[in-house]
Structure 1
Amino acid sequence: MSSSLTCTSLSFAWPDGTPVFDGLDVSFGPGRTGLVGVNGSGKTTLLKLVAGELDPTDGAVRVAGEVGYLPQNVTLDTALRVDEALGIAAKRAALHAIEAGDAAEEHFDTLGDDWDVEERALATLGELGLGHLGLDRGVGEVSGGESVLLRLAALLLGRPDVLLLDEPTNNLDLYARRRLYAAVASWPGILLVVSHDRELLDLVDQIADLRAGEITWYGGNFSAYEDALAVEQDAAERMVRVAEADLRKQKRELADAQMKLARRKRYGQKMWDSKREPKIVMGARKRAAQESAGKHRIMHEERLAEARERLDEAVDAVRDDDEIRVDLPYTAVPPGRDVLTLRDLEPAHGARVKGGFELRGPERVALVGRNGAGKTTLLRTIAGELEPVAGEARAHVPLRFLPQRLDVLDGGLTVAENVARFAPGATNNRIRARLARFLFRGARADQQAATLSGGERFRAALAALMLAEPAPQLLLLDEPTNNLDMASVHQLTTALESYEGALVVASHDLPFLQSLGITRWLLLEGGELTETTPEALTDPA
């Protein structure tokens, strides 16, 4: 039987009653599907429901076959060996026991038909660029990107019928991403992937657009989806203009009709007062006129109501993915002003900065390099979270650091309360007015941080840092596009375009970095920090 995935009348709401799905019906067949939608639309929630990590409020999820799930944030037990992380330790032990002459039946039961388990495991690790790990090595020193690939290797070895990937390129460098792309391109079963990575989404066969609890299908990859969506939105905007013109017309016709009816009423009253006709005739005429006027008025009011309804429907079809608006004049840094100085800096591990490094004025620096090269360690050392082994890192202006894990937020506090922690002198009204610019309007500012989606959590963390007092004139961002949908990446880009301070961004997302107007590119490689260019990074060996 071929594998299949079906959601029937699927409903889900959070414990506080917030609905996510209400009677969703959707099926996924063989092939690669990209699941897209704005942050908070329920993409991750849907994957968790399919994977069995969440229970639906109502309805059912039916899967024919085994499910493999790669979550957004992969954590591995540092006490495990690689074979344990891959889930093959028991089979390896049974295989080695049999090879040593132990013919106990339980060894054969454990191994089954998987006699080449070690060869397959090593081959899979090699394909994902993890061949250097070996099966007996501990995973304690594995980097964040290698953790993702190791978890993916475990899924590939398990040969699931349905593979669910939630932002799989998070924390992956350019080299590791290419290996993941190859694994996705060759996947034979059902694959459902949530991602903001354009290259990855251009490998899928179809796009499922999740919006307002419903899925709309688009054939082809993400580029084809964007083209189709652009055509749809052009048509939707034209329909809004047509509906607006019709609404104006109906308002005019209703006003004209009311004026005519008012004139007729005045004329009828004049005839009544002058008693030019018999009373019974005038009474019949008055009743007929009132009846006709009532029908006429109702007709025009119905037309006006229908025009308003058509306009509402047309407006609903136009997407309004708001942009973050930032106006922070106190973040401005004059050209030439000293912002950051590094002197013979040697972090706890990773790259060394021989001699000196100066950051002046509102420069924008991209920090790139392989997973495990030490980008995060360098940023944390600059931010003062880690003590260097030698040398110094000195910031000459107020700085803020936004880490990958977004742990600057207290999950038990609301968005507004989190921002207040960073700006204790600001009034509640001022905080809420500023938060509105980060799309947390009204009750959204009172949401607990723990209930936010990945993109919403990022926006809240960015708001907390950028609205902090004193205003940050140096921002350090570590993989800021992780967990963000396309609309949120655009929002972030817009926010950073209006930020007037200095910027240091560690990222593997080259299109995002290029959109920021980067002025300097720094490469961490082989324990050294060197200047590079984006052209040198687009075709890694």
Structure 2
Amino acid sequence: MSHHTGPSLTCSGLTFRWPDGDTVFDGLSLTVGRGRTGLVGANGSGKSTLLGLFAGRLTPARGSVTAGGRVACLPQNLTLDTALRVDEALGIAERRRALRAIEAGDVDERHFETVGDDWDVEERALVTLGSLGLDGVELDRTVGELSGGETVLLRLAALLLERPDVLLLDEPTNNLDLFARRRLYEAVDSWRSGVLLVVSHDRELLERVDRIAELRAGAVNWYGGGWSAYEEAVAVQQEAAGRMLRAAEADVRRQRRELEETQVKLARRRRESRKADAQRRAPRIVAGERKRSAQESAGRLRGLHEERLDEARERREEAADAVRADAEIRVELPYTAVPSGRTVLRTHGLRTRYGSLGETDLQLTGPERVALVGRNGAGKTTLLRTLAGQLEPLAGEAEVPVPLRFLPQRLDVLDDELSVAGNVARAAPGVTENHIRAQLARFLFKGARAEQLAGTLSGGERFRAALAAMLLAAPAPQLLMLDEPTNNLDVSGVRQLTGALGSYQGALLIAAHDLRFLEAVGVERWLFAGEGGLRETDADEVRELLAGEGEFTD
């Protein structure tokens, strides 16, 4: 990858393919300038691959990738050595040691070379940590003492300390709690240094960018403003595309009708010509000449109408390509219904093995939709796993008098050796194969797609298959628990999940940090998980916490 002056990212004629021959980009060209850019697109469209090319971790087959200035990248799946000290993770350990030596009177020239002009490196590090909410993190602590969210923010702090000209963030809010998300949002809001390119499906984060670059079918389309402006622009485009498609389909029907009418007229004309020749007893050579002339004329007329029909079909194909086919899940789930007064979950003095919730007394009734929010490490996942019977409680009890299904973050409910249909059949013994296939088609697994092995599915497909296995299970679940269901789902996947849960008539308990999703699925009860256990809260308070107008109190 080459570099030039001025913060920017450019690729020209970029072609990239994986070792198995799968082509991701073929001749892609684009330039990302100063400011905050959100890169969006369906799962598998190549967003993370493009970031890898810009970061220099991947090499194109053809074309060039150019970065103006220093590039820093926060990868999607971050792993840091837990034995590292915080100053080592920040990349300032050597400068700190050199500063300590100089302060102790050691005038070795090497110490001064190590420090360079960075005499305030320690102060800058602490200020940067503080800006990301890591005020209490001491430089001599180890990474292993930090939570997963704090580790992500620590790595971001290390990148910011490098003062990069170009900062790349790949799904940075995955697995971050509300507090860590707020800090990351603030970091994005305050970015003024050069190019910030962020790949994300987090709509709260995408509201904060200056422009949206949508990667679709190997090309990039640009939209000014944040997520809401992008959605409005796409909606306008889709309305126009829908009108063009309807007009193109009408034109195809008209051209087909005119071709058929022309063929009928030509056939009638041929019959009449043969009849007239027979009555006139025209010489064979004259009749043959007339026939040849008529055939040529008919051929030209028919060819003209066929050409018009082909052109109309091409216009229809072009119009259809412009219409987004983000299919939605539409399924009927009547057996999941729960009467409004029925208890679906009750805990008494429940103490989980991990986390800091203390004793939990909780009751869910009827088709309640409940959100479980709070800090990472508070014990939300542990609580769900305990309620699902996967973990034994330390004390107390949990009663679930209705059929329960739990969809964990790891989606390990599927047997990779079975097909999608096989996995659903395993969850719903006694249900006919025809019924399973009919229902799977509603989950967008039609025909041969239902026979695909679970181990070969993409991330989004795997989620849909796991969701189908949960919702189509027998007996039908009347309490469904989901743990961070939107992590790693693209916007289309979140829309599909929202649609499927709209059809679900039982009780929902969802641990998540995506507030827009929680509101979209109709959550009306909010539980905050903290040191003091679970406490009732509401969407307004959670939004205030995210906006920095409230404080997390346990």
Q: 1:121 aligns with which of 116, 125, 147?
A: 125
Q: Structure 1 70/232 Cα, relative in aligned 2: closer, same or farther at 3 Å? A: same
| Counterparts of 1:175 and 1:531, CA distance in 2 | 18
Say whether the 8 Å CA contact 1:167–1:482 is kept in structure 2: no
Say whether the 8 Å CA contact 1:373–1:527 is kept in structure 2: no
Q: Structure 1 474/218 Cα, relative in aligned 2: closer, same or farther at 3 Å? A: same
Match of 1:381 in 2: 386
Amino acid at match of 1:64: G
Aligned positions of 1:33-182 closer than 5 A: 33-182=37-186
Q: Structure 1 77/473 Cα, relative in aligned 2: closer, same or farther at 3 Å? A: farther
- Compare 290-299 and 401-410 and name the one that shifted more: 401-410
Match of 2:316 in 1: 311
| Counterparts of 1:514 and 1:274, CA distance in 2 | 82
Amino acid at match of 2:125: A
| Counterparts of 1:504 and 1:457, CA distance in 2 | 21
| Counterparts of 1:376 and 1:515, CA distance in 2 | 22
Amino acid at match of 1:40: G
Q: Structure 1 499/75 Cα, relative in aligned 2: closer, same or farther at 3 Å? A: farther
Match of 2:291 in 1: 286
Aligned residues: 541
Say whether the 8 Å CA contact 1:345–1:352 is kept in structure 2: no
| Counterparts of 1:288 and 1:68, CA distance in 2 | 74
Percent of residue pairs identical: 68
Deviation sequence 1:178-208 (CA, Å, 0-9, x none): 3222211222211111222223212212211
1:220 aligns with 2:225: yes
3-state SS of the aligned residue for 1:517? coil
Say whether the 8 Å CA contact 1:352–1:529 is kept in structure 2: yes
Say whether the 8 Å CA contact 1:383–1:401 is kept in structure 2: yes
1:486 aligns with 2:486: no
Deviation sequence 1:271-311 (CA, Å, 0-9, x none): 22123545444333222111101101111111111111111
1:398 aligns with 2:403: yes
| Counterparts of 1:52 and 1:446, CA distance in 2 | 38
Deviation sequence 1:139-188 (CA, Å, 0-9, x none): 22422322221221111112222211122222333333232222112222
TM-score normalised over the length of structure 1 = 0.91
Say whether the 8 Å CA contact 2:360–2:534 is kept in structure 1: no
Q: Structure 1 260/25 Cα, relative in aligned 2: closer, same or farther at 3 Å? A: same
Match of 1:345 in 2: 350
3-state SS of the aligned residue for 1:146? helix
Shift of 1:69: 1.6
Q: Structure 1 344/327 Cα, relative in aligned 2: closer, same or farther at 3 Å? A: same
| Counterparts of 2:437 and 2:201, CA distance in 1 | 29
Shift of 1:385: 3.2
Amino acid at match of 1:164: L
Deviation sequence 1:433-480 (CA, Å, 0-9, x none): 544333344565566666655434433332343344554332221222
Shift of 1:496: 0.8
Match of 2:250 in 1: 245
- Compare 503-512 and 458-467 and name the one that shifted more: 458-467
Amino acid at match of 1:501: G
Say whether the 8 Å CA contact 2:8–2:194 is kept in structure 1: no
Match of 1:298 in 2: 303
Say whether the 8 Å CA contact 2:338–2:507 is kept in structure 1: yes
Amino acid at match of 1:462: L
Pairwise CA RMSD? 2.7
3-state SS of the aligned residue for 1:120? helix
- Compare 514-523 and 308-317 and name the one that shifted more: 514-523
| Counterparts of 1:517 and 1:153, CA distance in 2 | 36
Which 5+ residue runs of structure 1 have no aligned equivalent?
Answer: none
Match of 2:267 in 1: 262
Amino acid at match of 2:58: L
1:533 aligns with 2:535: no
Match of 1:362 in 2: 367
- Compare 277-286 and 424-433 and name the one that shifted more: 424-433
Which 5+ residue runs of structure 2 have no aligned equivalent?
Answer: none
1:321 aligns with 2:321: no
Deviation sequence 1:88-134 (CA, Å, 0-9, x none): 22322232233223333443343332222211111111001111121
